[in-house]
Structure formats: C-alpha cells, structure tokens
Structure 1
Amino acid sequence: MEIQLIEASEVIPLRHEVLRPHQPIETCTYPDDHAEKTFHLGGIKNGRIVAVGTFSNRSHETDPELTYQLRGMATSPDVRGEGYGKALLEEARKVLAARQARGWWCNARLVAVPFYERSGLMIASESFEIEGIGPHHVMVDRFARKE
C-alpha cells in the first residue's frame, strides 16, 4: 500500500466524486489548498489515487494546540475497507509529528465518525450542520506529549 505526498490539483477529482458529486467542481478547491504549510496525501493503488486527505495549518478556535485541520478526506468506493484511509491517517501522523504538531482536528460527517473513532479520534462537539453537506461532529487527534 502506497501513501505519498501529492499536489493540490490531484485531490480535486476524488473530493468531487466522493464528497460533493452534486455540486460544481469548483466547490472542491479549498482556500488553504496552496498555503505554504498545507500538505496533501494520496493513497495509490495500481498507479491511481484512491484516497486523499489535506492537512492545513489551521488551529481549532477552542483548542489552539490542535494546529492542523484535516479537510477533504475521501476514499474511492471501490477500495473502501482495504485500509487506505487508515494508512493515510498513519502517514499524516508521521508528517505532523515531524512538524512538531501536538494534534489535529476535522469536521467529520456523521457517516465517517465510526471510521475516525476506530482510528483513535475523539468526538469533541455536539452534532452541527454544514449547509449543503449535512451533519458533522468536530473530532480531534491529540498526540502524546514527550516530557
């Protein structure tokens, strides 16, 4: 299983297919996609990107220790259950640890909450609605402190 850094333009097709299929493709480009500290990861199978995730240097408003936000996490339906999402998050943790991050957060769709919980994240908010997308929870991944 291959997980690697990819370009911002490479995440757009899968974001559109999985996350916003009934919206214009322009809605799949996020403001921080090209920011200096943003990084994009892709899961590759047979030369094709089958999973994506974008980590932007954006602290959570109520917890400044959570210095990165995951956005646009998507896995192609034909490889779900094969471990690409889990492997992508494991690689992200390595990248974030190298950047000395203490943790990260995301707005998780309700259907994705069980996946994130299995990956070690915790629910950190009540359910809330993102217009045009649906109900979400804030979820967090805190790294153990090394004293």
Structure 2
Amino acid sequence: MNHTIKHISATEAHAVRHPVLRAGKPIESCIFDGDDLNTTFHLGAFIENKLVAVCSFFKCKHPLLPEEFQYQLRGMAVLNEYQNLGLGQLILNHGEVLLRTQNIQIIWCNAREKAIGFYKKMDYTIIGDAFNIEHIGLHYVMYKTL
C-alpha cells in the first residue's frame, strides 16, 4: 500500500473525524478545544492523494500521570473503507516518533472501549477506571511511555 503521512490542518482532520467518530452528529461535535493551538499538531495519512486517516496530538497533562512532558492523542480516525490496513498503526507510530524528538515522556488518550485492543497492541496501558462520555460511550484512559 503506497501511502504518505504529513502534517495537516485541524479543518482537514475534522473531515475524517466527523464520519468516523461523530457520524450523525453536527460537524461542530468533532472540533476540539485546542485544535488550533501552536502546540497541537495533526497528522494525515494519504493514499493516492486522498486523506484517509487522521490523528491529533495536544500538549496536555493527565492528573493520573506524574511525568512532566505529556501529549494527548485525540481524534484518531480511519475512514471505514480503509480500516484494517495498518494505517492507524502507521500514523500513530509517526506521531510517537515526532513526540520523542521533542523529549515528550508520555502519550495518553481516552480510548473507546472498542479500540482498547488496538492500543494494547501499540503498547498502551489502561490507567484508572472506565468512564462514560455522553452520547459516545465507555472509555478508558490509556498511556504509553515514549
């Protein structure tokens, strides 16, 4: 599979987040606080110049994690017809490499229950108890030491 991964804008990320993570909800539901901060970055995976996968990285500390330098992964999404091709792993690995070069110690996310297996394969660990995000479902905080 011939793909490229590059930095994209928040608006480009919304175009993939929306149908995957917030289908049937208003587009505004997939716009996150901090999307446009200069410490936030968004990555996109392209196949034949089509944006098919996205993930966003926010400078944000989680209270359960003591490390000083942390980033939160948010809005990871792969268009349905491109799922199970390894794109999620490729784009997340790319982001982790970029964070390591910035001496970030921890990456964490609020993982949907159905995504736990994916994150475990990527060496993420659950911390704390499950929690519900209204209208979205059960989530777990997962983290990885970089």
Number of residue pairs the alignment of both structures matches: 143
Q: Structure 2: which 5+ runs fail to align?
A: none
Give the aligned partner of residue 71 of structure 1: 74
Q: Structure 1: which 5+ runs fail to align?
A: none
Partner-residue secondary structure (3-state), 1:132: coil
Runs (4+) of structure 1 exceeding 2 A deviation are: none
Task: State how 1:116-135 maps to structure 2 within 5 Å.
Answer: 116-135=119-138
Give the aligned partner of residue 96 of structure 1: 99
Partner-residue secondary structure (3-state), 2:128: coil
| In structure 1, C-alpha distance between the alignment counterparts of 2:8 and 2:20, rounded to whole Å | 18
Task: State how 1:1-147 maps to structure 2 within 5 Å.
Answer: 1-65=3-67, 67-143=70-146
Cα RMSD (Å) = 1.0
TM-score (normalised: structure 2): 0.94
Q: CA deviation at 1:13?
A: 1.2
Relative to its length, the structure with more strand (as a share) is 2
TM-score (normalised: structure 1): 0.93
